[in-house]
Chain A
Amino acid sequence: MEKGCLSIVLHAHLPFVRHPEYEDFLEEDWLFEAISETYIPLINVFDSLVADNVDFRITMSLTPTLIAMLTDPFLQERYLRHITRLIQLSESEVERTRWQPQFHDLARMYRERFNNCKYVFETKYGRNLVSAFKKFQDMGKIEIITCAATHGFLPLMELNPNAVRAQIAIAAQNYEKHLGRPPKGIWLPECGYYPGLEKTLKQYGIKFFFTDSHGILYGSPRPKYGVFAPIYCPNGVAAFGRDLESSKQVWSAQEGYPGDYCYRDFYRDIGFDLDYDYIRPYLHGDGTRTNLGVKYYQITGPTDHKEPYVRARALGKAAEHAGNFMFNREKQAEYLFSIMDRKPIIVSPYDAELFGHWWFEGPEWLDFLFRKLHFDQDNIRPITPMEYLDENPKNQKATPSLSSWGYKGYAEVWLEGSNDWVYRHLHKAAQRMTELAGNNNPGNPADGLTLRALNQAARELLLAQSSDWAFIMKTGTMVQYAVKRTKDHVNSFNALYGMINEKRIDRKFLEDLENRDNIFPELDYKVYA
């Protein structure tokens, strides 16, 4: 008998990184690696579940920045270049490892994977992976939700309501353009919620969002069912809370599944392990060693001595972990059902890039999980938040509490010594953008070049607002890039602001910006008015 529902939520996001001004660019690898290691493996899992008639439900955010990159012809071309090189590399690896059977098998696995990536990307989905995800949404298997336009951390933007509104409006517009209908749900960047944000969400037809556990638990009035049922904000937008137990089973550094010794080790990569002259052709221009995505070892244990990866054993482990996860959710649902007068919903959100990129076996774990849920039990049913709301339209009204899913649960990750300096500039730019939009209103329309400058100014502001830059500054890798991106976007914005006000727009400067920061071509600056 059904005792409850399970909602797996994957948040797929990368910041907008696109540098046509360079022949190749290290940070563009974030996208390429995520495509090969996460997005395509997930698409393959979905395709195989559909092929085997396994009914499944996944809620997945595709952030507007990610959609912009996945649908950008320039980056698509670069991805093909990237994967073609990797195929070459894997071919020489198949040769090179001929006298080492364990590595040889793995080299063949990589060759097959990379060839599959190229096939799925180029042939099967015509370079547009968003269309792949859309296909599963149209089948009713996954629910794609949106995110703020450039993943701005909204609680620190509340001061500029127009900037918050623009983040949501542009996201909704971008979603509809690529997915053919308005978004029903949103993943708030970093789960960052502040009371009142729901008003803006409702304005754009958004019916639900997620908060971290304490966002719901500390909501007011006290939520009767904790995180195991949604609450309605006073205006009727629903909020779902994260279940900590299921998060912990995957995320926890100590107990989490991805740390199992049988799983593939992320760090041992041939980009660092092999002879420099041999791998040099596959490295970036400056020749710095980087990960190449071919990794031959298993985690093995808390030691630097690593044993070769055994694929079959790792897959067995993934099946075992999927069974364990399912068992725990069943027990959890049974118990909750006994003390609640309705079916609980267990919401388990994860960063999508955890699956495949970091946890190599993660996509297979999801595959096993949904097969087991479908064939092996009937206590819990995979569901999307929208389906749950349709089935359970009566929910308690309460206002969630300000919260995020960052370390310590509030804004500290994005507001601390390393990154607090950005807000003075971001707020000022947002204020100036609103001012520009007000000055260039329908009664005083902007001419061609000014119009372009106004739209580009909005793009520069949006790109500066990505929470990713503040996050990188805190975590300490690639800091220079994040600082430079913040400064460049703010300075570009300020330059455009000055040019627009002085009615003296530098055409070349504007065109350079338009060519590089070409995100949201449909954007209309009046969204800031």
Chain B
Amino acid sequence: MKKSVLEKLEERELLELAQKLGISVRKGAKRPEIIKLLQSAKAAPAPPAESHAHGAPHASSEAARHAEAGQPAQTIQQEVEESKFYTGTPPEEFRLPSELPYHYGDDRIVLLVRDPHWTYSYWEVSQKKLEIERGNLGMAGEDAYLALRVYDVTDVRFDGSNDHGHYDIGIYDRVGNWYVNTGMPGRSFIVDLGLKTRDGRFVTLARSNAVRTPRDSVSDVLDEEWMVPDSDFERIFALSGGLSALTGASSADVRLAGGGKLPFGISSPGMGSLALMSPVKKKQRAFWFVLNTELIVYGATEPDAKVSIQGRPVTLRPDGTFTLRFALPDGKQIIECSATSADEVETRCITPEVSRSTRVG
């Protein structure tokens, strides 16, 4: 993207463009910074914008995070700097890196199931592989862009062309991830990471594993041996979703007719043991003030004397001192204290009286 073109755009338009292109921009970034980011994006040929329709870029995509940290560039820089101090001998002690590898040098794409409607894929392809494949495409390779091709391979042994249908999603990063909204429960999918030319050719760089999204409704497959009238199953099904069928209160929510869907929302707990171990309380008010009073009673006598406060024995420290601490409520406290010598010849009594009254307002 030409700088002159970008400079004509408003900050808001620049941000929109960046978003469209999947470039993450830090919060509070100013125009020159965004323009710089957009310019650097031109290195990767842009896929047609509409091809994003089938998925959602993720705010925390690998590439985005690393871009924020300026990581790939920094790694090389670091390497160069570190090499200045490299004498050929291994370091004395092994030190664990604090960050994870950015990639593993593979050409690989993996597909995971998130739920009946969404899958998640992550991938990486080496720069070398990318260059070779671009080269193989000749002229068309120069502005070919990276894309994901999502195949519906339900019940077929996929050979690269016998799918029930496919669509493409343009992507930017050779190391990245994407949530793919297949929108089709109970179907199987494979995703290819490939290079797509402007004239529509697609070259596969890596092929994912196959996954099957789960059904999100009751199965149509019936077992003759375990048949049950629909009406009975509806009742069982409703009960499986709660006692609502008994009370007749909201059985509509759980009827088969409603698509066989369950009224979730209590699904676990959402808590789990760990949330139970360290829950966080929601703050209910903005301003608050609490005040409490405590009374400290302390004293000293001969280390072998016997001391009691309000009739209860007190443990002395080795030097004959002692300290007691009481929460002090409103009202009057009569604190009878006595000390008796070890030979029980002498006793002294001291009785402080303390009263607390509180005004609030």
B206-241 toward A: CB 8 Å interface, digit per residue (1/0)? Answer: 000100111111111111011110001101110111
CA distance A492 to B270 in the complex (A): 31
A410 with B60, Cβ < 8 A, contacts A100-B327, A421-B65 known: no
A347-365 toward B: CB 8 Å interface, digit per residue (1/0)? Answer: 0001111100110000000
Question: Do B120 and A340 touch (CB < 8 A)?
Answer: no
What chain A residues lie within 8 Å of B104 (beta carbons)? 428
Question: Do B327 and A409 touch (CB < 8 A)?
Answer: no
CA distance A99 to B309 in the complex (A): 13
- Within 8 Å of chain A (Cβ to Cβ): is B9? no
| Most chain A Cβ neighbours within 10 Å, of B227, B264, B266, B279 | B266
* CB-contacts of A444-490 with B (<8 A): 468, 471-472, 475-478, 487-488, 490
CA distance A11 to B327 in the complex (A): 40
CA distance A249 to B360 in the complex (A): 41
CA distance A490 to B260 in the complex (A): 42
Question: Do B227 and A224 touch (CB < 8 A)?
Answer: yes
Question: Do A99 and B328 touch (CB < 8 A)?
Answer: yes
* CB-contacts of A207-256 with B (<8 A): 212-214, 216-228, 241, 243-245, 247-248, 251-252
What chain B residues lie within 8 Å of A159 (beta carbons)? 110, 112, 209
CA distance A411 to B112 in the complex (A): 9
CA distance A408 to B268 in the complex (A): 9
What chain A residues lie within 8 Å of B280 (beta carbons)? 476-477
A interface residue count range (under 10 / 10 to 19 / 20 to 34 / 35 or more): 35 or more
Question: Do B329 and A406 touch (CB < 8 A)?
Answer: no
Question: Do B243 and A99 touch (CB < 8 A)?
Answer: no
A408 with B246, Cβ < 8 A, contacts A14-B273, A267-B281, A401-B214 known: no
CA distance A352 to B62 in the complex (A): 36
What chain A residues lie within 8 Å of B58 (beta carbons)? 417, 420
Question: Do A227 and B96 touch (CB < 8 A)?
Answer: no
* CB-contacts of B50-68 with A (<8 A): 58-60, 62, 65
State which of A11, A244, A278, A488 has its C-beta within 8 Å of the C-beta of B240: A244
What chain B residues lie within 8 Å of A488 (beta carbons)? 96
| Most chain A Cβ neighbours within 10 Å, of B59, B99, B278 | B278
- Within 8 Å of chain B (Cβ to Cβ): is A142? no
B315-333 toward A: CB 8 Å interface, digit per residue (1/0)? Answer: 0000000001111110001
B297-339 toward A: CB 8 Å interface, digit per residue (1/0)? Answer: 0000000000000100000000000001111110001000000
- CB-nearest residue of chain B to A350: B269
- Within 8 Å of chain A (Cβ to Cβ): is B294? yes
- Within 8 Å of chain B (Cβ to Cβ): is A407? yes
A92-125 toward B: CB 8 Å interface, digit per residue (1/0)? Answer: 1001111110010000000000000000000000
CA distance A331 to B212 in the complex (A): 39
Question: Do A226 and B236 touch (CB < 8 A)?
Answer: yes
A304 with B115, Cβ < 8 A, contacts A100-B329, A190-B268, A332-B239 known: no
A221 with B221, Cβ < 8 A, contacts A351-B276, A409-B115 known: yes
CA distance A405 to B262 in the complex (A): 13
B interface residue count range (under 10 / 10 to 19 / 20 to 34 / 35 or more): 35 or more
A395-406 toward B: CB 8 Å interface, digit per residue (1/0)? Answer: 011100111111
- Within 8 Å of chain B (Cβ to Cβ): is A313? no
What chain B residues lie within 8 Å of A227 (beta carbons)? 240
A212 with B267, Cβ < 8 A, contacts A95-B326, A275-B294 known: yes
- CB-nearest residue of chain A to B112: A156
Rounded to whole Å, the gap between the CB of A486 and the closest CB of chain B is 8
CA distance A421 to B232 in the complex (A): 46
Question: Do B266 and A244 touch (CB < 8 A)?
Answer: yes
A96 with B294, Cβ < 8 A, contacts A190-B272, A244-B266 known: yes
Question: Do A410 and B232 touch (CB < 8 A)?
Answer: no
What chain B residues lie within 8 Å of A506 (beta carbons)? 93-94
What chain B residues lie within 8 Å of A336 (beta carbons)? 236, 239
- Within 8 Å of chain B (Cβ to Cβ): is A266? yes
- CB-nearest residue of chain B to A14: B273
6 tightest A-B contacts by CB? A410-B115, A405-B268, A220-B219, A402-B214, A221-B223, A226-B240
A-B contact pairs, 20 of them (CB 8 A): A30-B277, A95-B326, A99-B328, A103-B327, A214-B264, A217-B240, A222-B220, A222-B221, A224-B236, A244-B241, A336-B236, A336-B239, A357-B277, A405-B268, A406-B268, A408-B267, A420-B60, A421-B60, A427-B110, A471-B275
Could you list which residues of chain A lie within 8 angstroms of chain B, going by C-beta atoms? 11-15, 30, 33-34, 92, 95-100, 103, 155-156, 159, 190-191, 194-195, 212-214, 216-228, 241, 243-245, 247-248, 251-252, 266-267, 275, 278, 303-304, 328, 331-332, 335-336, 339-340, 350-354, 357-358, 396-398, 401-413, 415-418, 420-421, 423-425, 427-428, 468, 471-472, 475-478, 487-488, 490-492, 494-495, 506, 508-509
